[in-house]
Each structure stands twice: as structure tokens, then as C-alpha cells.
Chain A
Amino acid sequence: MARIEFNNACVDFPIYNANSRSLKNRLLNVATGGQLNTDAQGRVLVRALEGLTFTLNDGDRVGIVGHNGAGKSTLLRLLSGVYFPSAGSVRIEGEVGSLIDISLGIDHEATGRENIYIRGSLLGMSKKTISAQLEEIIEFSELGDFVDMPVRTYSTGMHLRLAFAVSTIVQPEILLMDEWLSVGDEGFKLKAKLRMNDLVRKTNILIIASHSKEQILQTCNRAIWLEHGKIVMDDDAAKVATAYFGD
């Protein structure tokens, strides 16, 4: 069971320029009577998301569309629990897994094997679980003996294969993605696609931000169109895709 409930959720970014970010100026401002302040708290707010209200349930495959700066990434961060809404409420039931930056935490000086443990632990796997899946990850990534070499000696493709193989081992109830993951050469791509399809099939709720119409139509049954931090349209994937991408 997984469920996501947004009720009028907003995200405001405080913008600290060099002035208000330094304590010295904060103190000087107090001394000069705070005339330089733009508001009571002396900060400028940028509203990234405004009044988002929606509910997602089991089986929802949601595509998020919108132009650059529409708030897609901020919404994904809100969903992953990295950001808390500055107003309104967000309720998330279920374990969230993120495939947004699969290379996060990879240490270039460490070996592939060590990186499997680092990346796995960051994703919340226990050492035992990782050890149990270690062989499978190594085999899937096709690294062979390179797994005991430092990652800095890897080609870009090998690097991505490793990151992909570890990151897709987890099976979260809620899966977040920023664009469909696709790595490697032709042979690996096919394997990766099968793994991804499998992962998406097993997850309760999928949320994917994408710029590809085909991808949205293929994977999603619902889509949310964001513009300037607000929901323009929240409907069936085909309808939203037609409205957003045109025919």
C-alpha cells in the first residue's frame, strides 16, 4: 500500500544574496535599523511550487511534464522527502526510492566493489542485503575483473553500468525518476530496459518527469502538467500529452 497526498503544498526558496547570508551584515543591519531589508525578515522568496493538490494511489503511473523551470525537479524533491513544504501539507505513505541521480555517492578512488556498498547503503540497503546481491550486481554490470579496480579507471559507460546495476536493485513502493534511465551500448540497453520495466511493474506508484511524449504515453496512465509552479492540467496521460506536446 502506498499513497501520496498533497494538500495545497507550496515551496518557497529563500534567496540569500551575499548580503543577508553573512552574519556580519545581519548584525550591521540591526545596527542601522534594518533599512536595507526587503521585508521583515530581510529575505526575498521565490515561489517554486504553488498550491499543489492531488492524491496518488496504488497503480498510478504519473508523468510530469512542463518546460524547464516549471518546478518538476522541485516536485520530485518534495516527493522524495528532501524538501518539506513551506506551506500546505504533503503526506507520503510508503517507502520512496529515487533514481534521479544514480551516480550520487560514487567515490572515484574506491573500487567498483566498494562503491556497490557505498551506493547500496545510501539507498538504505543493509550490508547483508548488498552482500547477498553482490554477485548479481557485478554480473549485471558486466564489469568482470574491473570491479576490483578504482572507478576512476572506468570508461563513462562502465561507470554508468555500475551505477545502474546497484541503483536498480532496490524495490521501492514509490519510484521517482527524472527522465527514463537508459545506459550503455545496444546489448546493455536491452537488458537495462527489461530491468527497468520489471522495476516499474513491481512498484506501487511511479512518478517520472519527462520531456518525451512516447515515454509518457508508453509508461504512464496519468500525467500532471506543471507551469510556473502550478498545475495546469492533471488528467489521463494521453489527454495531457496531446494538450502539452500537441499532436
Chain B
Amino acid sequence: MAAAKRHALVGLLGWMDIRQRYRRSALGPFWLTISMSVMIGAIGLVFSTVFHTPIRDFLPFIAIGIILWTYVSNVIIEGCNGFITADNIIKQLPIPMFVHILRLIWRNILMLGHNIVIFPIILIAVGKPMGLISLLSIPGFILATINLTWVTLILAVICARFRDMPQIVASLIQVTFYLTPIIWKPETVSAHAGIYLLDLNPVYHLIEIMRAPLLGQPPTLMNWLVSAALAIFGSLFALYFYGHYRRRIAYWL
């Protein structure tokens, strides 16, 4: 793909997006980290009381869940506007359009880097060790990001054409947040409901391959298989879809 040759451009533009948030602000994107820590603290306290779970278990769970969820949902929501916000560049320069998608993913990875610092702090605070198994979250993260990339590519194309799609996606994301075990633990649902909420929920598998190793458990084989299958078939479909509509995008903007 021609976009791969422009990785320097992707890196620079994504980095500039982050730099822009730092301008005239000493903490920059860390403000988001701070507000996220406050939210994690509040939700952690309330729900550990409601569910009668010890905060020592619950706080790390909810912290990493919310951090990863923020990454996933921001990529998808911003992905809807991936081409729309880059319209001035798209209409002037023949830069491969995939560059704009990679730019927003890179920007969100950098944001995730800011937010992830909360997690080790919480682990230290509750006195939980982090084992070698947490390294498994790296392939998990890569696999999840591949999935996010193809979803974003397809959404960016559709949203360039149908301008009310971003709102639809935003509300679906909101619903997914409650349907996916992020503020509730997967063990708390009955086996029957688990089929729908866990096994058939692709977002659960994607979150799990990143989250489980960080909480000291290997993801299940099913988590890996579903995520890998989604990545392969999704990417193939996205390539076909993008190849089909690529030439029309500039006209829609």
C-alpha cells in the first residue's frame, strides 16, 4: 500500500495533533488522564460497594477496562470523521487517503500512552504485582489495533457519504459500553446471558486480549481465535470495500 511509504507523514501529523493539545497548557493531554483517574476512582468506589467486591480486585479491573475502552471508542468515533475532517487535504493533494486513517490511529495510540500510566500507579496503590504474562497484552494490542483499523476505514468511507452515520455510531458505541464487561465483571453474568454478552460480542474479545494479560490471566483460546479471524476477514473485506469506493470519496467531501 502506498500509504505505508508515507509513514513519516503519518507520524508527523499524528504527533502534531498531540503537540497541539500541549500548546499553552503545561499538562496538555494529561488533563484527560487526570479526569480519567477521577472517573476511575469514583466508579471503582461506587461499584465495588454495589457489587460487594473487594476494591483491591475491582480497581485495577475497572481502570484498565476504562483506559482500553477509551482507546477503542475514540478510534471508532474519530474514525467516522476520518475523511470528513481531512477534506481540505484530500481535495488538494493526492496523498493516499489511508494516511488520514493511520494518522488518527497513531494519535490515539499516543493518547493511550498518556492514559496507560494510571494503571501501574493503581497496581502499586493496591499492592498487586504485575507478572511476565502481561507481555501477552502486546500482541493483543496489535491484533486489536488491526481490527480497529479496518473498522475505521470502512466507517470513514460510509460516513463521508452518509453524514448522519457518525451520530448513529456514537449511540451504538454508548450501548456497547454497557453491554461489554468494562464496569461489570464477566463472571457476574449467568452462563446463558454470557453467550450473548461475552461470546457473541466481538468487542469483548478485543478488550480481553489486551486486558486479561495485564490482570495476570492469559486470554482464552476463543478470545484469540475470534480476534484473529475478525482481523483477517475484516481486513480483506475493508480492502475490497475501500478499493471499490476509493475513487468516489473526494467527490463526496
Contact = CB atoms under 8 A, between A and B. Distances in A.
Contacts of B20: 107, 109-110
Contacts of B23: 109, 150
A69 interface: no
B88 to A, nearest CB: 6
Contacts of A105: 89
A80 to B, nearest CB: 6
Interface stretch (B63-71, B92-100, B186-194, B206-214): B92-100
Contact of A13 (B13, B247, B251): B251
B162 A98 contact: no
A26 B250 contact: no
Contact of A21 (B6, B13, B162): B162
Interface stretch (B33-41, B144-152, B163-171): B163-171
B94 A81 contact: yes
A98 B165 contact: no
A58 B6 CA distance: 28
Contact of A82 (B90, B164, B165): B90
B16 A118 contact: yes
A213 interface: no
B168 A23 contact: yes
Contact of B162 (A13, A23, A81, A109): A23
Nearest to A25: B164
A110 B89 contact: no
Contacts of B9: 121-122
A162 to B, nearest CB: 16
A80 B94 contact: yes
Interface in B117-168: 161-165, 168
Contacts of B50: none
A122 B95 contact: yes
A199 to B, nearest CB: 18
Contacts, number: 73
A164 interface: no
Contacts of A96: 94
B12 interface: yes
Interface in B165-205: 165, 168
Contacts of B19: 110, 114
Contacts of A101: 92
A24 B16 CA distance: 36
B93 A122 contact: yes
Contacts of A80: 92-94
Interface in B228-253: 247, 250-252
B162 A26 contact: yes
Contacts of A127: 8, 12
A153 interface: no
A27 B19 CA distance: 42
A77 B91 contact: yes
B98 to A, nearest CB: 15
Interface string A88-109: 0000000010101100110101
A125 to B, nearest CB: 9
B89 A104 contact: yes
A245 interface: no
A117 B12 contact: yes
A126 B5 CA distance: 10
A23 B20 CA distance: 34
Contacts of B89: 104-105, 122
A154 interface: no
B8 A121 contact: yes
Interface of B: 6, 8-9, 12-13, 16, 19-20, 23-24, 88-95, 161-165, 168, 247, 250-252
Interface of A: 13-14, 16, 21-24, 26, 77, 80-84, 86, 96, 98, 100-101, 104-105, 107, 109-110, 114, 117-118, 121-124, 126-127, 150
14 contacts: A22-B162, A80-B94, A82-B90, A82-B94, A84-B250, A86-B251, A96-B94, A109-B20, A118-B12, A121-B12, A122-B95, A126-B8, A127-B8, A127-B12
